[in-house]
Structure 1
């Protein structure tokens, strides 16, 4: 059977590529009747597979080439955009330079018209913070904010400038970031904040008149908060009204930048530092009527003082059982840190607890924080405890904390040393005086008598004779006074120790 030529036809129809192989029918029948294909047939199949592979690779190469072309086009476009951005930056810089040149020229004109003028408005007190919207602003002492006009350091109390009309405005909080002390009128006006309604952010009496060089602001309030500004702050400023023709440049006045809060946040106002008698929700992370607030109230912790007492008594119990915080969190750290900002410098009263052996006395401040202890009569501040003293004090502290509420504050801290309060009850509780107490009391009585005026003080101070139970040579014997007389200018006299209850 004569073999016929096999032909390979590649047809392209649409997007499909097909490889058609024509095999004679006889050859196909022979191939079908045999188990294995002939070598020629196998070779043909290999050639077809190679051609298909090459066609597929050519398609991918075309696709890759197309992507590369697109990438090059994007890069060219990016370079063009970059050059355009540089051109825009250059134009913007030139505009700023022209603006600055115009401002300097404008300022030069003012300086030529107003040679050596040093007239300026000034606020005479500071703004009370925090500031809330729809609430009248006042000075630190809750008085009205005052503004005056000065030439140098002297207030102008007469003449046209002493009674000009002044307008109160609000500036953006970044106006004084560079610490500037002088500026042009244009610079000041460019920083004035416009409200959402197109008007100023202040409401109330924004216009005032000076009288003899000064005046007080009336009821004036913020209508909007400062949260929408980039600096999150506002600056209260004052300028001479544009309707006034002063003939000289009067520099505007500004106050310190402040954050203006929404009035709805006033109920949860946080004070820094907090006061001991502030309600506990004034602390950071505690909202009024919130979860933590309710838990603290349930534990009878109502004020910052109560919170600090509970913290010093058992911080772990306060956190885990009262507040139900299973582990230390940032909320706990902020809460405790804020509470510890309380200023205790003016709180001098102390509570004292002596152990059963009488060798150690612990001293606690008004929030039940241990401040020091006496060991065998020697006072040591808490920060100076050695490891042995600290261990002993911690053991005693855990035992006494439950009873501190019932212990009176019968000591005061003076010059970093606890001294007993000089009252009859305290003296009676203190027991017999030792020689050092005798000397100290002698000095106190002398000072008390001399504070009464120009008087003569006769004191007879001797050790009392020992009782039958006391050893005359025992240094621990009690001491007392035979007499301590006050002689006034008119010859009158009385016993200081009895009449003033210095001794029981």
Structure 2
């Protein structure tokens, strides 16, 4: 019996031990799983920490690239097809700008008159002067010469505003005058007294465009009026005006105002020595003794032609002169050209004179050139009418 009890006790103890072993194994495996999970989490966290800077850099680069492409695509272009502002009206300068342009000098048109702005209706591919039933407030501004007009000249107001040139830091407004802002009525307005305060050499294109726009915020009843633009031009310091050529030249201009004759240059000095001081002196010598003029200048044929062409643009005015000799009376314009001849009181065309008679006339012309200061001035309008009456 005792042996049986010992056996039962041993079996019972063995059974309890067998029951406890799986629990111990399950507990041990659970702890190992937790430890493994923790280790994996720490490894993943370390990996994320290592990847984070690289991922941030890649994301930033892609975002910046996207913004750059978007900015390039959406940049306001003068010919942008989308978001166009349809306009049937535009401002326009009536005449071209007088060139060259110098600082401080008043801006004028090519005929030396105040600038004039007009309003045009561009419907139907035509440009016709028009008016609006209300006044338009207009501002004169300066635009960079790199302004892209495009083939259809249909730029947006945003693009135009982006090309406006402002004064340099510390300088006065780039363009000044009483008419920087004007009011247009009846489709037309004059603009006078405008001057540049700075040259154009400091911008990349080295040229400006004079422009006119409707003052932002002014009432136009929702109508888009396209801006007026001149051709591009350089603005030089007023010191250069002292040496500028006149277009057209005047009779009493100093001779160096002509093309290819520089002030105090070789040609100028040669002419001065010969008593040719003004444009009128130059033209008289060219009419009477062209060969002598060529000898004095010693210019190339091309340069001489350009100088003569410029001089011939001169306004001769209304003065005329008379020289007598024997039976002949010869009438001359201010540059010693023959405009009329009478022989024994009867008018003749130079084409009607024979060789001997023409020789007398030429001698009288040379004598008149040599004694120009003593010639008798005449009223050519009256004299011409008298000659016509004698012809009839």
Tell me, yes or no, whether TM beats 0.5.
yes
Counterparts of residues 332-481 of structure 1 (less than 5 Å): 332-344=304-316, 346-354=317-325, 356=326, 358=327, 360-375=328-343, 378-382=346-350, 390-391=358-359, 393-410=361-378, 412-413=380-381, 418=384
Q: Does 1:263 align with 2:238?
A: yes
Tell me the equivalent position of 2:14. none
Counterparts of residues 102-501 of structure 1 (less than 5 Å): 103-107=80-84, 110-111=85-86, 118-123=88-93, 127-138=97-108, 145=115, 153-157=130-134, 162-163=136-137, 166=139, 168-172=141-145, 183-185=155-157, 188=160, 202-204=174-176, 209-211=181-183, 219-221=194-196, 223-225=198-200, 234-241=208-215, 247-255=222-230, 258=233, 260-320=235-295, 324-326=296-298, 328-344=300-316, 346-354=317-325, 356=326, 358=327, 360-375=328-343, 378-382=346-350, 390-391=358-359, 393-410=361-378, 412-413=380-381, 418=384
Distance 1:217 1:168 in 2: 14
Q: CA deviation at 1:124?
A: 6.8
CA contact (8 A) 1:167 1:206 kept: no
SS of 1:293's equivalent in the other structure is helix
TM-score by length of 1: 0.47
CA contact (8 A) 1:203 1:220 kept: yes
CA contact (8 A) 1:173 1:235 kept: no
CA contact (8 A) 2:94 2:117 kept: yes
CA RMSD of aligned residues (A): 4.8
The alignment covers a number of residue pairs equal to 308
Judged with a 3 Å threshold, the aligned counterparts in structure 2 of structure 1 residues 375 and 173 are, in CA distance, closer, same or farther, namely farther
CA contact (8 A) 2:250 2:279 kept: yes
Distance 1:218 1:395 in 2: 51
Judged with a 3 Å threshold, the aligned counterparts in structure 2 of structure 1 residues 270 and 386 are, in CA distance, closer, same or farther, namely farther
CA contact (8 A) 2:78 2:150 kept: no
Q: Deviations over 1:60-99 (max 9, x none)?
A: xxxxxxxxxxxxxxxxxxxxxxxxxxxxxxxxxxx99x99
Q: CA deviation at 1:279?
A: 1.9
CA contact (8 A) 1:133 1:225 kept: no
Distance 1:101 1:396 in 2: 66
Q: Deviations over 1:161-201 (max 9, x none)?
A: x45x73512252886696x675543664576568888x999
CA contact (8 A) 2:331 2:338 kept: yes
> Unaligned 5+ residue runs, structure 2?
1-71, 122-128
Distance 1:312 1:285 in 2: 19
Judged with a 3 Å threshold, the aligned counterparts in structure 2 of structure 1 residues 189 and 295 are, in CA distance, closer, same or farther, namely same
Q: CA deviation at 1:266?
A: 0.9
Higher relative contact order (CA 8 A, sep 6+): 2
CA contact (8 A) 1:127 1:138 kept: yes
CA contact (8 A) 1:147 1:216 kept: yes
Distance 2:120 2:78 in 1: 29
CA contact (8 A) 1:271 1:283 kept: yes
Q: CA deviation at 1:202?
A: 3.2
TM-score by length of 2: 0.58
Q: CA deviation at 1:283?
A: 1.1
Judged with a 3 Å threshold, the aligned counterparts in structure 2 of structure 1 residues 409 and 204 are, in CA distance, closer, same or farther, namely closer
Q: Deviations over 1:329-350 (max 9, x none)?
A: 4333322222222123x42523
Q: CA deviation at 1:211?
A: 4.9
Q: CA deviation at 1:288?
A: 2.3
Counterparts of residues 20-59 of structure 1 (less than 5 Å): none
CA contact (8 A) 1:135 1:222 kept: no
Q: Specify which structure has the higher proportion of helix.
A: 2
SS of 1:361's equivalent in the other structure is strand
